[in-house]
Amino acid sequence: MDTPLWHGRLLEKTIPDAGLVVFEGAGHYSYLDRLAETVRVMDYFFKQSADQ
């Protein structure tokens, strides 16, 4: 079952410090379709978390 984008946007607004990354043109498994970009986003996230 797909999660609609509007739901992700709602979660981003309601969860403190949440962030939403949308890979245009990617499918349901966007992390596989755009693996390099996913790794870059996760690296950034974990580095920011470590600095806090």
* pTM recorded for the entire structure: 0.71
Determine the Cα–Cα distance for residues 20 and 13; give it in Å rounded to an integer: 9
End-to-end CA gap in the chain? 35
Residue-wise pLDDT tens digits, 1-52 = 577 889 999 999 999 989 999 999 888 888 999 999 999 999 998 998 787 7
Determine the Cα–Cα distance for residues 8 and 19; give it in Å rounded to an integer: 9
